Structure 1
Amino acid sequence: MRIGELAKISGLAPSRIRFYESSGLIKSVERKANGYRDYAPDTKWVLEVITAAQAAGFSLEEIRQLMPMNASGWQHDELLSGLKQKVEEIAVLQQRLAHNKAQLLLVIKGIEDKPESMACAENAQMLINRLREEGIGKAPGKRAVR
């Protein structure tokens, strides 16, 4: 199938398909005498795997390492290991995001609870000091010891 048809059925721009081809994520195809690329029918499936993996947080390099060039070349153990590693990375990211959210909520509360008589700059300094005392601003698990 030609690149225009592949782009239409995959929902990807022809430039992205060419990029994946030049990056080695999909098989390079021979050009016909008229200069058109002729992609195998399973290329649509490969593109779907690539876009799903990207949506799940895999980099193109990670995808390149884990994905075979055809459906029969999967390396079960490597694939499973790579998927588990990505789940671990997501868990660490979730922990970091939860920590960041908690920090922001503390700051919001401190701003909302500012006494009427206190100047914003004074409240900001008080918040900064409070956050330092509580060890906020450091990576999770590295809070200051009281």
Structure 2
Amino acid sequence: MKIGELAERSGLAPSAIRFYEKAGLLPKAARGANGYRVYAETALERLQLIQIGQNLGFTLEAIRAVSLLEGAAFQDGLLHNLDARLGEIEQMMQTLRTQRESLLDTRHKLQQSWANNECLSNADLAARGPARA
């Protein structure tokens, strides 16, 4: 199929397809007698995998590394990357939980100080320790 059809079927712009090909994420297309790129059906599958990987937060480098593997190595590499990404997400979630608790604590301290007609500085907020309801 030509790049226009591949673009339409994948939902990607032809420039994105050319980028993925140049970056080594998509195998080089064959060239027809007219010089146009001609892609196999497998190119569509590869583009779909790239899109899924990006939607899951994988870098193009990680997608490239796994796409170069075959057989059991592909499966192992994919599972390894999925586990690593899950670890990254868990770390982000923990960071967000900590930030949320800090925001709730600061909000509570501010409400208490305003109720007592006090004005707290940043140092006061940090020095008072966790608020208690």
TM range (shorter): 0.7 to 0.9
| Rounded Cα–Cα distance in structure 1 between residues aligned with 2:26 and 2:39 | 10
Label 1:133 to 1:17 Cα distance change in 2 as closer, same or farther (>3 A): farther
Cα shift at 1:84: 1.1
Partner of 2:41: 41
Partner of 1:86: 85
Instruction: Tell me the TM-score normalised to structure 1 length.
Output: 0.75
Question: Is residue 60 from structure 1 mapped to residue 23 from structure 2 by the alignment?
Answer: no
Cα shift at 1:112: 4.2
| Rounded Cα–Cα distance in structure 2 between residues aligned with 1:28 and 1:134 | 60
| Rounded Cα–Cα distance in structure 2 between residues aligned with 1:108 and 1:129 | 13
Label 1:39 to 1:101 Cα distance change in 2 as closer, same or farther (>3 A): same
Structure 2, unmatched stretches of 5+, are none
| Equivalent residues in 2 for 1:119-134, closer than 5 Å | 122-123=119-120, 125=121, 127-131=122-126, 134=129
| Rounded Cα–Cα distance in structure 1 between residues aligned with 2:85 and 2:51 | 16
| Rounded Cα–Cα distance in structure 1 between residues aligned with 2:127 and 2:117 | 24
Partner of 1:143: none
Question: Is residue 23 from structure 1 mapped to residue 27 from structure 2 by the alignment?
Answer: no
What is the aligned-residue RMSD (CA, Å)?
A: 2.2
Q: Could you say which structure has the higher helix fraction?
A: 2
Question: Identity percentage over the alignment?
Answer: 36
1:93-140 Cα distance to aligned partner (Å, 9 max, x none):
11111112222223333344423734xxx33x1x543335549xxxxx
Q: How many residues align?
A: 127
Instruction: Tell me the TM-score normalised to structure 2 length.
Output: 0.81
Cα shift at 1:56: 0.8
SS of equivalent to 1:57: coil
SS of equivalent to 1:27: coil
Structure 1, unmatched stretches of 5+, are 136-146
